[in-house]
Amino acid sequence: AAAAEEPIAPPVQVNYTKLLINGNFVDSASGKTFPTRDPRTGEVIAHVAEGDAEDINRAVAAARKAFDEGPWPRMTAYVNTQLDILVSVVSWPSTMLTDGRNLPLQERSRILLRFADLIEKHNDELAALETWDNGKPYEQAAHIEVPMMARLMRYYAGWTDKIHGLVVPADGPHHVQILHEPIGVAGQIIPWNFPLLMFAWKVGPALACGNTIVLKTAEQTPLSALYTAKLLHEAGLPEGVVNVVSGFGPTAGAALASHMDVDKLAFTGSTDTGKIVLELSARSNLKPVTLELGGKSPFIIMDDADVDHAVELAHFALFFNQGQCCCAGSRTFVHERVYDEFVEKAKARALKRVVGDPFRKGVEQGPQIDDEQFNKILRYIRSGVDSGAILVTGGDRLGDKGFYVQPTIFSDVQDGMKIAKEEIFGPVQSILKFKDLNEVIKRANASQYGLAAGVFTNNLDTANTLTRALKVGTVWVNCFDIFDAAIPFGGYKMSGIGREKGIDSLKNYLQVKAVVTPLKNP
Ligand code: ADP
C-alpha cells in the first residue's frame, strides 16, 4: 500500500561526526572519514571520522584513566549533604567527603536520571536522526524506541545503589564476604538495526555497575550514538567514562575485541562475527564476552487460534523494523486446521502493509539498511522460489530508488530449505504447516539458534508445554517483541552468551571477589 501525507519529523541537522574520546569530539588519528548514507536514496548524509586501532588505543587509555583515577567507579553509598555537614563536624576522614574523587553514589543515579530527562527533551531530534541514518519509520523511533531508551536509563539509575554482595555462612570459623566490583573497561560493539536501543542496552548496565566504556557503533549508523553520548555528558557524566568510536568491524571492532587493556567485551551482531570476537578475546587477554547474536525464531500458531489475531501478531513478529530484528518470528508454524485460512489472510495483511518514506505518517515499513542487506534479501527470495516454496505475495524490490523490498510471503516452506534455516533479516515471512504439538516442538527446536519464540494459543496446557519445551531465551505467549527494561533478553545455543536488560545484565559487568577472614570467637 502507498503512503501519502506530509513529512512528520522536525528538520534535523548532523552536529556530531567526530570520535568522542575523553569527553571531547576529536578527529581520527589517521584523519580518515567514511560516508554514512540515507537508506531511502543511498545518498551521503555526512562524513564521519573513521576510527581504527590507534583511536581505540586512545579511547581505551581514556576509559582506563577514568576507571583507575576518576570518580565513576568509586562513588560510595553515603548519604546526603546534611550528613556531609555532620561528617565534617565530627571530622570523619576527608576521603569520605565529596572531593571530586569520592562522589556520593546517588550522583551516579542522578546523572542517569538527568540523561533520561535529556533523552525525553530531545525525543524528536533523536528519532529523526535515527530514521535518517537507519530508514526505520519515524513514528516507531519517536513513539517506541526513544521512550524505551529513557525508560531503560531510569531502570538502571534505580539499580546503582542496589548492587551489592553477600555475607555467607561457610564451614569453619570464617567470616566470608562476597564483594561485587565493577569489572573495569568494557568494550562494546553494537549493530545497525536499533542503534539507539543497542547503545542503551549496552551502556545502561555497564554504567550502573560503575564501569567505564569504549563503544564502537556500526558503520552503517554512527550518528545517533554520538548525539546521545553528547547528552550523557550534558547530564554530568565525567570525562572518559563513555567513549564512542565510529568505524568498521575488521579494523576498529577487532582492535577493541583484541585489546589487552579491555576487561570485558559485549557484542551484538551476527553469529559469524560473534565467533570472531570470541576468538579475538581468547587470543588476547581472555576478557569475558557476552554475545547477542542471530536467530530463526519460531512463531507457533495452534488450531484454537483466533486466526485474524494470529495473522496480525505473526505479521508484526516478522515485518517489524523491516524484518531487521535478531528475534524476528521468521518461521511461522501454522496448525494444518487453520493453515489455509491463515495463508490467505496473511497475504491480505502483507498487501495492506504501508511501505514508503519512513518520515511520512502511517508508514509501517521503510527501506532496508543498505545495498548489501538489500541484495542479500533478494538472493534469499530467489532461493525460496528455486527450492520450491510457494511465493504468495511480494518477491521483488519496491520502486527503483533506495533499498525498499516488497513485503514477501512464502507458504509451503519445508524445514530443510535455506529460507527456513538461515537468518534473512528482511521482510520475508516463511509459513510452515504442522499437525501436532510434539512434532512442532521438535521442528521448532531443530535450529542452531535459540533466541526467541512466539506461541499463540488459548489453551493453558498447550502454552505451558510449549514454554517449557522450547530451547530459547524468550517465549512470548500471545504477544511478541515485548522489550521492557526489566525483561532479560538473550539466546540459547548459537544465539548467544549471557543476557541483556533486567537483573541478569548486571552480572555481565561485575567482578566477584571472595574475602575470607578467620573468626577468633565464632
Ligand atoms: P551485520 O551483518 O548485522 O552487519 P555484523 O556482525 O557484521 O552484523 O556487525 C555487527 C557489529 O560488529 C558492527 O558494529 C560491525 O562493525 C562489527 N564487526 C564486524 N566485523 C567485526 C570484526 N571482525 N571484529 C569486531 N567487530 C566486527
Q: What is the pLDDT of residues 498-511, one digit of tens each?
A: 999 999 999 999 99
Task: Band the pLDDT of 10: cuts 50, 70, 90.
Answer: confident
Q: Is the predicted pLDDT of residue 87 greater than 70, yes or no?
A: no
Chain-centre distance of CA 319, in angstroms? Answer: 18
| Residue 492 phi, psi dihedral angles, 5° rounding | -85, 170
User: What 3-state class would DSSP assign to 100?
Assistant: coil
Q: How far is CA 309 from CA 316, 342, 349, 396, 477, in A?
A: 11, 10, 11, 27, 13
Q: Rounded to whole angstroms, how far apart are CA atoms 307 and 431?
A: 14
Q: Rounded to whole angstroms, how far apart are CA atoms 490 and 268?
A: 10
C-alpha cell at 405: 523490498
**pLDDT value at position 5?**
64
Q: Rounded to whole angstroms, how far apart are CA atoms 329 and 314?
A: 7
Asked if residue 328 lies in contact with residue 451, where contact means CB atoms within 8 angstroms, the answer is no
**pLDDT value at position 102?**
57
Instruction: Find all residues with CB under 8 Å of 172, minimum gap 6, and list them.
Output: none
Distance (Å) from CA 273 to ligand 1 centroid: 6
170-208 pLDDT, tens digit each: 888 999 999 999 999 999 999 999 999 999 999 999 999
Backbone CA torsion sign across 56, 60, 61, 63: positive
Q: Is 279 in the pocket of ligand 1 (CB under 6 A)?
A: no
Atom of ligand 1 nearest to the CA of 425: 3
Distance (Å) from CA 67 to ligand 1 centroid: 26
Atom of ligand 1 nearest to the CA of 257: 25
* Position 152, amino acid: L
273-308 pLDDT, tens digit each: 999 999 999 999 999 999 999 999 999 999 998 999
DSSP character at residue 323? G
Q: Which residues carry out catalysis?
A: 292
C-alpha cell at 480: 511478541
Asked if residue 377 lies in contact with residue 405, where contact means CB atoms within 8 angstroms, the answer is yes
Least confident of 29-33, 72-76, 310-314, 443-447: 72-76
Q: Is 441 in the pocket of ligand 1 (CB under 6 A)?
A: no
List residues bridging with 409 in a β-sheet. 393, 429
**pLDDT value at position 103?**
67
Q: Is the predicted pLDDT of residue 138 greater than 90, yes or no?
A: yes
Task: Among 50, 56, 189, name the best residue to mutate to test ligand 1's pocket (greatest count of ligand atoms within 8 A of Cβ).
Answer: 189
**pLDDT value at position 1?**
59
Going by alpha carbons, the residue nearest to atom 16 of ligand 1 is: 249
**pLDDT value at position 92?**
42
Distance (Å) from CA 192 to ligand 1 centroid: 9
Asked if residue 244 lies in contact with residue 215, where contact means CB atoms within 8 angstroms, the answer is yes
Asked if residue 473 lies in contact with residue 491, where contact means CB atoms within 8 angstroms, the answer is yes
Atom of ligand 1 nearest to the CA of 191: 10
Which value does ipTM take for this structure?
0.99
**pLDDT value at position 521?**
80
**pLDDT value at position 171?**
87
Residue (of 116, 53, 36) closest to 284 by Cα position: 53
Q: Which helix (H) or strand (E) holds 392?
A: strand 390-393
Task: Band the pLDDT of 77: cuts 50, 70, 90.
Answer: low
Instruction: Find all residues with CB under 8 Å of 445, minimum gap 6, and list them.
Output: 469, 470, 471
Mean pLDDT of 394-409: 97
**pLDDT value at position 124?**
96
Q: Is 413 in the pocket of ligand 1 (CB under 6 A)?
A: no
Distance (Å) from CA 112 to ligand 1 centroid: 28
Q: Which helix (H) or strand (E) holds 167?
A: strand 166-168
Q: Is 270 in the pocket of ligand 1 (CB under 6 A)?
A: yes
Provide, rounded to the nearest whole percent, the portion of the chain with pLDDT above 90: 90
DSSP character at residue 313? H
Asked if residue 313 lies in contact with residue 279, where contact means CB atoms within 8 angstroms, the answer is no
Distance (Å) from CA 485 to ligand 1 centroid: 24
Going by alpha carbons, the residue nearest to atom 13 of ligand 1 is: 218
Atom of ligand 1 nearest to the CA of 216: 14
Task: Band the pLDDT of 496: cuts 50, 70, 90.
Answer: very high
Task: Among 273, 281, 289, 321, name the best residue to mutate to test ligand 1's pocket (greatest count of ligand atoms within 8 A of Cβ).
Answer: 273
Going by alpha carbons, the residue nearest to atom 11 of ligand 1 is: 191
Going by alpha carbons, the residue nearest to atom 18 of ligand 1 is: 249
Distance (Å) from CA 444 to ligand 1 centroid: 27
C-alpha cell at 8: 512528520
Distance (Å) from CA 404 to ligand 1 centroid: 23
Distance (Å) from CA 90 to ligand 1 centroid: 55
Mean pLDDT of 450-466: 98
| DSSP string computed for 398-464 | -SSSSS-B--EEEES--TTSHHHHS---SSEEEEEEE--HHHHHHHHH-SSEESEEEEE-S-HHHHH
Mean pLDDT (the chain, rounded): 94
Task: Band the pLDDT of 79: cuts 50, 70, 90.
Answer: very low
Q: Is 276 in the pocket of ligand 1 (CB under 6 A)?
A: yes
**pLDDT value at position 105?**
81
Distance (Å) from CA 369 to ligand 1 centroid: 14
Q: Is 269 in the pocket of ligand 1 (CB under 6 A)?
A: yes
Q: Is 149 in the pocket of ligand 1 (CB under 6 A)?
A: no
Is this model's pTM higher than 0.90 or not?
yes
Q: Is 248 in the pocket of ligand 1 (CB under 6 A)?
A: yes
Task: Band the pLDDT of 106: cuts 50, 70, 90.
Answer: confident
Q: Is 324 in the pocket of ligand 1 (CB under 6 A)?
A: no
Atom of ligand 1 nearest to the CA of 248: 16
Q: Is the predicted pLDDT of residue 59 greater than 70, yes or no?
A: yes
Q: Is 70 in the pocket of ligand 1 (CB under 6 A)?
A: no
Let me know if 299 is exposed, middle or buried by CB neighbors in 10 A (0-12, 13-18, 19+).
Answer: buried
Asked if residue 331 lies in contact with residue 445, where contact means CB atoms within 8 angstroms, the answer is no
Q: Is 369 in the pocket of ligand 1 (CB under 6 A)?
A: no
The label of the residue with cell 506530509 reads 6
**pLDDT value at position 7?**
73
Q: Rounded to whole angstroms, how far apart are CA atoms 381 and 65?
A: 50
Q: Rounded to whole angstroms, how far apart are CA atoms 423 and 432?
A: 16
Atom of ligand 1 nearest to the CA of 218: 14
User: What 3-state class would DSSP assign to 132?
Assistant: helix
Let me know if 305 is exposed, middle or buried by CB neighbors in 10 A (0-12, 13-18, 19+).
Answer: buried
Q: How far is CA 27 from CA 16, 122, 393, in A?
A: 11, 25, 48
Asked if residue 196 lies in contact with residue 222, where contact means CB atoms within 8 angstroms, the answer is no
Q: Rounded to whole angstroms, how far apart are CA atoms 152 and 139?
A: 19
